[in-house]
Amino acid sequence: MALLVALAAAGGMALSARHAQTDRTIDELVASHVRAGLSTRDIDVISTDRHTVKPWFNGRLDYAPPVEDLSASGFPLAGGRLDYVGQRRVAVLVYRYRQHVIDVYVRPAGAGRASAPYATVSQGYALDRWDAAGMTWWAVTDAEPSALTAFRTALDARLGGAGSE
């Protein structure tokens, strides 16, 4: 019985730690998105051409983020930048949706474990997280959450349904 109680307590602590980490990540992402919007340098490489944006990340990161042109779906690529989230440098792909910016933070997925898809609203910003093409994707915008759903659908289609979880 004591073992069962100890296991339940440990499981609860692990779940609580995971929620705390997700909350910290959400806070970091929203802060980054807001800072970029306030800055005159919200995009490091300004281009609608994925063949310009993708190579720009070479040598700046230890991975190559997939970069897709989603303009036919209503989400034109505006460019990209580097940021620091979750104690590592990450690629940020910047897309537009009507008058809104969608910042898409891309980093390699955790070793051997897929994160469950997750959508939320924090401080008035819609966020969506999912894994696809060996990467973890976080999208942040001040547009309606339905815009992120449409964005994710368009991106997953371009990635060829490459393991979107």
How far is C-alpha 81 from the geometric centre of its chain's CA atoms?
13
Examine residue 30 and state whether it is found in any structural domain, yes or no: yes
Give pLDDT, residue 69.
Answer: 94
Examine residue 14 and state whether it is found in any structural domain, yes or no: yes
Residue among 67, 155, 147 nearest 101 (CA): 147
The pTM for the full model equals 0.83
Per-residue pLDDT of the chain in tens (165 residues, 90 and over written 9): 655 544 445 555 444 444 456 778 899 998 888 888 888 778 999 999 999 999 999 999 999 999 999 999 999 999 999 999 988 999 999 999 999 999 999 999 985 556 778 899 999 999 999 999 999 999 999 999 999 999 999 999 999 754 444
Examine residue 165 and state whether it is found in any structural domain, yes or no: no
Examine residue 128 and state whether it is found in any structural domain, yes or no: yes
Instruction: Provide the b/e sequence for 22-35 (b: ≥16 CB within 10 Å).
Output: eeebbebbbebbbe
Examine residue 105 and state whether it is found in any structural domain, yes or no: yes
Tally of domains within the chain = 1
Q: How many whole angstroms separate alpha carbon 95 and alpha carbon 17?
A: 32
Examine residue 142 and state whether it is found in any structural domain, yes or no: yes
Examine residue 75 and state whether it is found in any structural domain, yes or no: yes
Q: How many whole angstroms separate alpha carbon 62 and alpha carbon 42?
A: 22
Enclosing domain of residue 78? 2-158
Q: For the domain that residue 77 is a member of, what is the CATH number?
A: 3.30.200.100
Give pLDDT, residue 7.
Answer: 47
Give pLDDT, residue 37.
Answer: 87
Examine residue 164 and state whether it is found in any structural domain, yes or no: no
Secondary structure letter of residue 142 according to DSSP: S
